[in-house]
Structure 1
């Protein structure tokens, strides 16, 4: 990281900018790879992917919901994908620009980064906003959706576009970045530990890792159960406990600089849960879907200030420095 006066610096010290989407699948680090099966399927002998304990407790089961499992040792909560015939979940909530700007400003006290990789960038919404805070930073993006990452590159939101998971994109990204951001990516990864290890490799010494994740100990998440937002997709869900994440970061050589809960709460969980619960309704009952989800959305906004100050908050945010 260099001071703000970095306009004269080249934006990358790594390979030259490529205008094409990187669709190559590269080797994953040793251990469970990015494509390794998740033990969240409830198969006999399954173990917690976070601490290895076999003390797993089923939380909720049902033909219309994700099968949830919680580790009684570390509180890591995970779920198996729903069958392909399951109902399509609600569209992901849009993240307000102010939320993206708030995330980016966490790095302001540490100077202007030369290069920043946003993992799970989608169409590049975060880099597009973060550039207002860091105009001389080169933002790259990585996403498993080739269409979205191509659009992010075409719109100029990212300078380099990479397709896949962070662990699958190595070794081309090793040591190239001053900042790597993982916003709600650990819960989507088949192996969250592999993604953290890959992030450490992608960072230069002294680089920063910014993580935002759902909190499995959230009171609101416990209340919503299988209808909570992290469990409405058709991909493995891993809710990593905050103490476990901090311990894993220290084991990887990171120094934890900041841990925040309140600002990481994003309203919308009640509305998502209502839409999920009512999605299968037919006939006259279906007429209630819109007003009920609207009411749930209003409650989300009303409860947001309280959630940010209590255990109702659904997320946490961690900033750490490598080496």
Structure 2
């Protein structure tokens, strides 16, 4: 977890760009974007949300209760976001959910825009950790089959495909994502084929083409999770395998850290499905669940991430285009001072997360789980 200031050097397109040059360039980007954001916000934020649901989207029960109310701590875009939980099936979901206009507004300038090289990269972790996760996922699939063709849903720039290729050199990797990075990934040779959009929209054209389909931290972003699972089944061949990783809403960290538990990730995460609910849904679709792992998918960043979000929240003046105006020198100085005061704590929390990771992931604190299911 890091803030804009902490990632200034990482957010530069050229290694030769100094921090001061980056600040000037970013300030110009914000100034260019501010008029359009302010015009959009002048119309109000009600249109960014659908009407509140009275029933659970997973089981249709009307026994709902508020689990969490929070803000957009990362980008500081306006709005209050509510997560509700079903008292019957325990499914957790955003209610009211973002509308199409809201999805566009809150996703914009995160992964591919102003924040694309800042917060987006911060959540991926260190390069060595990412490579290890990619290899671990590929080896987990190898215990069930050696796929000839693999579709990675939500592939972004194809990093997983590149990493998995080292474990599976004979496998052809394709990617699907709503962003433009998937197209760039094909142009750069990181994947063989690129599909831009949502999986259900491509499922008919891709029916029966793949031995393996992966969804790594994708389902929580989708509007209709069951439709995504059905689409994944459609593009798989008979005997093909689906691999899913999602945040674990049953993690003890979720209650311990409250709104500062990073996997809540509001407002982008719309649904939080428990492993029991996911397994039942897969079986109903005709899958056989062949593996469940609630330990290895754990990403050790809970304490550092919570502290980082708290630190961001404590910075009262930031220069973002969705905020009415650029802060003055005093506000900028205050933000940097708050961040610098928090910097000495970060290494301690980083190593604490890593020290505790192997232990807590075995006793119900893992922040993610993995399911592998076979199409029968």
TM range (shorter): 0.7 to 0.9
Where does residue 8 of structure 2 map in the other structure? none
- 1:49 equivalenced with 2:57 (yes/no): yes
Aligned equivalents of 1:229 and 1:194: distance in 2? Answer: 26
Aligned equivalents of 1:295 and 1:42: distance in 2? Answer: 42
Check whether the contact 2:71–2:266 (CA below 8 A) recurs between aligned residues. no
Aligned equivalents of 1:184 and 1:134: distance in 2? Answer: 21
1:107 to 129, 141, 149: 141
Structure 1 246/277 Cα, relative in aligned 2: closer, same or farther at 3 Å? same
Check whether the contact 1:258–1:320 (CA below 8 A) recurs between aligned residues. yes
The Cα shift of 1:162 comes to 0.6
Where does residue 8 of structure 1 map in the other structure? none
Where does residue 58 of structure 1 map in the other structure? 66
- 1:73 equivalenced with 2:88 (yes/no): yes
Structure 1 63/321 Cα, relative in aligned 2: closer, same or farther at 3 Å? closer
In the TM superposition, what whole-angstrom CA distance separates every residue of 1:103-122 from its partner, at most 9, and x where no partner exists? 11122233421111001111
Structure having greater relative contact order (Cα 8 Å, sep ≥ 6)? 1
Aligned equivalents of 1:249 and 1:235: distance in 2? Answer: 24
For structure 2, the residue ranges without an aligned partner over 5 or more in a row are 1-47, 74-80, 316-333
Structure 1 311/109 Cα, relative in aligned 2: closer, same or farther at 3 Å? closer
Where does residue 251 of structure 2 map in the other structure? 218
2:175 to 127, 132, 141: 141
Where does residue 311 of structure 1 map in the other structure? 364
Where does residue 189 of structure 1 map in the other structure? 222
Check whether the contact 1:232–1:276 (CA below 8 A) recurs between aligned residues. no
Deviates more, 1:297-306 or 1:309-318: 297-306
Aligned equivalents of 2:207 and 2:268: distance in 1? Answer: 27
- Cα RMSD after superposing both structures: 2.5
SS in 2 for 1:116: strand
Check whether the contact 2:158–2:190 (CA below 8 A) recurs between aligned residues. yes
TM-score of the superposed pair, with normalisation by structure 1: 0.80
Aligned equivalents of 2:273 and 2:353: distance in 1? Answer: 23
Aligned equivalents of 1:322 and 1:272: distance in 2? Answer: 36
Where does residue 164 of structure 1 map in the other structure? 197
The Cα shift of 1:61 comes to 1.7
- 1:237 equivalenced with 2:266 (yes/no): no
Check whether the contact 1:114–1:136 (CA below 8 A) recurs between aligned residues. yes
Where does residue 180 of structure 1 map in the other structure? 213
Aligned equivalents of 2:148 and 2:93: distance in 1? Answer: 36
SS in 1 for 2:243: strand
SS in 1 for 2:55: coil
- 1:291 equivalenced with 2:344 (yes/no): yes
SS in 2 for 1:313: coil
Check whether the contact 2:203–2:232 (CA below 8 A) recurs between aligned residues. no
The Cα shift of 1:295 comes to 3.2
The Cα shift of 1:287 comes to 3.1
SS in 2 for 1:96: helix
The Cα shift of 1:237 comes to 2.4
In the TM superposition, what whole-angstrom CA distance separates every residue of 1:63-115 from its partner, at most 9, and x where no partner exists? 55642211121221223559958997943223521111111112223342111
Where does residue 125 of structure 1 map in the other structure? 159
Aligned equivalents of 1:139 and 1:67: distance in 2? Answer: 37
Aligned equivalents of 1:64 and 1:115: distance in 2? Answer: 38
Check whether the contact 2:152–2:213 (CA below 8 A) recurs between aligned residues. yes
The Cα shift of 1:62 comes to 4.0
The Cα shift of 1:48 comes to 1.8
Aligned equivalents of 2:106 and 2:239: distance in 1? Answer: 47
Aligned equivalents of 2:215 and 2:72: distance in 1? Answer: 29
Where does residue 355 of structure 2 map in the other structure? 302
Where does residue 208 of structure 1 map in the other structure? 241
Check whether the contact 2:106–2:267 (CA below 8 A) recurs between aligned residues. no
2:124 to 93, 97, 101: 93
For structure 1, the residue ranges without an aligned partner over 5 or more in a row are 1-39
Aligned equivalents of 1:98 and 1:236: distance in 2? Answer: 25
The Cα shift of 1:137 comes to 1.2
